[in-house]
Structure 1
């Protein structure tokens, strides 16, 4: 539907270029500008409306809890690994 605004804008621009009346040219140019802005807004809303807002990207609380536990376990394992590598070695 928003493509219709682009076609009407081009039509208004053609009228503005072909006419000899200054008033009709000014009105046609303003109409072309308004229709072009309407086309841009429609195009943007169509593009932004295609984003995933259905909730499929959301994490449920159980999955979030599991991920937090995994992160805490990795952090604890990383801290214990760095603590053991900081201990002085025997034999040197």
Structure 2
């Protein structure tokens, strides 16, 4: 959908170049600017929406604490059984 804004902005710019009326020129340039900004915002929204993380993959604080405790226990066990030379 946001690509349609870009095409309309290009069309408004082409019309601005072809017109001889100052009022139509100002209206077309303003429309082209607004449509271009809408295109950029739509492109940004599509890019941000595509890079979102899955909410089900997130860990709650209790699970995160449990994983940290497990990692610390493994580290302590490896330090205790490792060579100390």
TM-score for both structures, normalised by structure 2 = 0.76
The structure that has the greater radius of gyration is 1
Superposition misfits of 4+ residues, deviation over 6 angstroms: none
The answer for the alignment partner of 1:30 in structure 2 is 30
Question: CA–CA distance in 1 between the matches of 2:56 and 2:68?
Answer: 20
The answer for the alignment partner of 2:68 in structure 1 is 68
Q: Which runs of 5+ in 1 are unaligned?
A: 86-92
Larger helix percent: 2
Q: Which runs of 5+ in 2 are unaligned?
A: none
TM-score for both structures, normalised by structure 1 = 0.71
The answer for the alignment partner of 1:14 in structure 2 is 14
Provide the aligned C-alpha RMSD in A: 2.4
Aligned length, in residue pairs? 85
